[in-house]
Amino acid sequence: MQKRVLLKISGEQLAGQYEHGIDPQFGGWLAQEVKAFAENGSQIIIMVGGGNFVRGAQIAGKGIKRVTADHMGMLGTVMNAIALTDIFEKHDVPTRCLSNIFAQQVSENFSHRLAEKHLAAGRVVIVAGGVGRPYFTTDTAAVNLALELDCQAVYKATKVDGVYNKDPAQYSDAVRLDHVSFKEAVDNDHIRVMDKAAMALAMEHKLKIVVFDALQEDNIRRVARGEHVGTEVS
Ligand code: UDP
């Protein structure tokens, strides 16, 4: 079976060296990594976050309804996705952006068939708009999409290189774990690398999650070669 994985990139990562917005330098670097991955014959789908623009839960209130705030968050993911699509294509990585929130002027609407068609044509598919509904996050959307497109795993890019037994920022003796069970990842409040709702969905369907540092040189290529990176939650 052809290797097919879903890569979840947060808005914070897309901001790269900046506090907000998109860092084209990071996008270009990511394009090169993804290119190497695709040249290996693997298919890659990217779910982008939007936290570099808006996180609904943080701006809701004082007049902005939660639903509106979440719509703004989803629109932020659209900005990320169309920018990243341009950057990928500039680096000769054939890419299409599909959106789960209606934005026909800037993106094709997501449909299962269309995503399959682009993947079969050797294109990277970048998905915007999460699941297209408020009160969700792009982590949950990533797991949902990986299930829909029959991915072998979800690779969640984080700033740290996996899951630790305690907070590595606070404890110098924190140890990185190679493997964590779904139950532990859901039950342990110290493990906050991914939304609990996303973890619970992955657990229900036994979909492997790998938490890793995508910024570490060669890590994405190592994933393509089937090597162990970061922490596997399964
Ligand atoms: N969002 C939403 N529904 C979805 C996905 C995202 O309403 O299916 C909104 C939500 O407000 C969220 C924001 O979009 O806070 C940005 O997504 P997320 O926080 O997951 O981005 P990340 O933290 O990964 O950058």
CA dist 102 and 100 (Å) reads 6
Distance 27 CA to ligand 1 centre (A): 19
Distance 186 CA to ligand 1 centre (A): 20
Q: Average pLDDT, whole number, for the chain?
A: 93
pLDDT of residue 14: 96
pLDDT of residue 58: 95
**Helical ranges in the chain per DSSP H:** 11-15, 24-39, 56-59, 66-90, 112-120, 138-148, 182-187, 196-204, 219-224
Atom number in ligand 1 closest to CA 74: 14
CA dist 70 and 67 (Å) reads 5
* Model pLDDT for residues 156-211, shown as the tens digit of each residue: 998 888 998 888 888 889 899 999 999 998 888 888 888 999 999 999 999 999 99
Closest CA to 20 of 64, 83, 66, 71: 83
Pocket of ligand 1 (CB under 6 A): 10-12, 49-51, 55-57, 69-70, 73-74, 76-77, 130-131, 133-134, 136-139, 141
| Mean pLDDT in residue range 148-161 | 92
Distance 225 CA to ligand 1 centre (A): 30
pLDDT of residue 215: 84
CATH 3.40.1160.10 correct for 4-233: yes
The residue ranking higher by pLDDT, 193 or 7, is 7
The residue whose CB lies within 8 Å of the most ligand 1 atoms, and thus the one to mutate among 55, 71, 98, 196, is 55
Ramachandran region of residue 133, left (φ > 0), alpha (ψ -120 to 50) or beta? beta
| Mean pLDDT in residue range 217-225 | 83
CA 24, 35, 144, 80: dihedral to nearest 10 degrees?
A: 10
Locus of tokens 């970061």: 230
pLDDT of residue 1: 65
* DSSP secondary structure code for residue 202 in this structure: H
Report domain extents, the chain: 4-233
Non-local (6+) Cβ contacts of 217 within 8 A are none
- pTM for the model: 0.96
The residue ranking higher by pLDDT, 152 or 170, is 152
Atom number in ligand 1 closest to CA 11: 25
